[in-house]
């Protein structure tokens, strides 16, 4: 975990927030990073958040960054600070329904598919625009859209990754033109966070570079 301070400082220098991605990492390791001052942690599975949360301090902000099935929304909606992986209108509708039941307002990011791989999830630009329109029409009174999230193609081609970050940055500008409070641009992981920061990321999600290899 010797890299934590360096990565945290790099994020700060770019006015970006650091999410420490703790999926498949032990409670002990998470606690050490917490003790170094980190409060925002990312997990990609609902079950894993529910398991870890009670074993760790209450002032941690948990970010769900992995695929969320509609039927699991009710389990997680009041357990996380933010859902970064909203990838469809169906999921927006479900989150709205469950948040309304609990009379809470939940922060989300719209996940855009920027990678070439079909397997990477996320919505298209068209879907994003539809959701933004509905949001402006007050279809989702219990949801606050805070910005966009994206995952780049798994490749060594820096040029390709650059283009994907630039595309997401452009969509984020469109999104923020419509929704002023949608200030967050969540992009950049262990392998590409420096490039992401240069391309205007305001939130990096770093796992293995902080915690070491996952089990």
Ligand X SMILES: *Cc1c(COP(=O)(O)O)cnc(C)c1O
Among 21, 86, 91, 95, binds ligand X (CB under 6 A): 21
Question: Applying CB under 6 A, does 3 fall inside the site for ligand X?
Answer: no
Question: Applying CB under 6 A, does 114 fall inside the site for ligand X?
Answer: no
**The token pair that represents 34 in the structure block:** 């917490």
Question: Applying CB under 6 A, does 199 fall inside the site for ligand X?
Answer: no
> Any bridge partners for residue 43, and if so which?
64
Question: Applying CB under 6 A, does 189 fall inside the site for ligand X?
Answer: yes
Taking residues 26 to 55 in sequence order and writing x for each that binds ligand X by CB under 6 A, - otherwise, the string is: ------------------x-----------
Give me the torsion for CA of 16, 32, 78, 42, rounded to 10°.
50
| CA–CA separation, 165 and 124 (whole Å) | 15
Residue 131 or 189: which CB sits closer to ligand X?
A: 189
Q: What are phi and psi of 154, to 5 degrees?
A: -80, 95
Question: Applying CB under 6 A, does 201 fall inside the site for ligand X?
Answer: no
Among 50, 61, 66, 81, binds ligand X (CB under 6 A): 66
Residues 148-167 that bind ligand X (CB under 6 A): 151
Residue 22 or 96: which CB sits closer to ligand X?
A: 22
Question: Applying CB under 6 A, does 200 fall inside the site for ligand X?
Answer: no
> 40: burial class by Cβ within 10 Å (0-12, 13-18, 19+)?
middle
Q: How far is the CB of 143 from ligand X (least distance, A)?
A: 20
Question: Applying CB under 6 A, does 65 fall inside the site for ligand X?
Answer: yes
Stretch that binds ligand X, among 5-13, 30-38, 51-59, 200-208 (CB under 6 A): 200-208
**The token pair that represents 24 in the structure block:** 């498949």
Nearest to 163 by CA among 114, 200, 211: 114
Residue 36 DSSP class: T
> 138: burial class by Cβ within 10 Å (0-12, 13-18, 19+)?
exposed
> Could you list the residues that contact ligand X (CB under 6 A)?
21, 23, 44, 65-66, 151, 189-191, 205-209
């Amino acid at each position: 975990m010797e890299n934590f301070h360096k990565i945290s400082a790099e994020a700060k220098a770019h006015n970006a927030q650091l999410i420490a991605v703790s999926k498949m990492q032990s409670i002990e390791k998470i606690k050490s990073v917490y003790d170094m001052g980190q409060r925002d942690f990312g997990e990609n599975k609902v079950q894993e958040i529910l398991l870890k949360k009670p074993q760790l301090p209450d002032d941690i902000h948990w970010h769900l960054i992995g695929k969320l099935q509609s039927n699991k929304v009710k389990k997680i909606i009041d357990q996380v600070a933010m859902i970064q992986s909203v990838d469809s209108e169906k999921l927006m509708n479900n989150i709205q329904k469950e948040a309304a039941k609990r009379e809470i307002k939940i922060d989300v990011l719209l996940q855009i598919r920027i990678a070439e791989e079909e397997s990477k999830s996320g919505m298209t630009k068209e879907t994003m625009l539809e959701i933004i329109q509905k949001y402006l029409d007050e279809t989702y009174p219990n949801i606050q859209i805070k910005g966009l999230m994206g995952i780049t193609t798994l490749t060594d081609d820096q040029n390709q990754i650059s283009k994907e970050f630039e595309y997401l940055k452009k969509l984020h500008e469109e999104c923020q033109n419509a929704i002023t409070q949608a200030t967050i641009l969540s992009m950049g992981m262990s392998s590409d966070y420096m490039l992401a920061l240069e391309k205007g990321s305001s939130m990096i999600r770093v796992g293995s570079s902080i915690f070491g290899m996952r089990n």
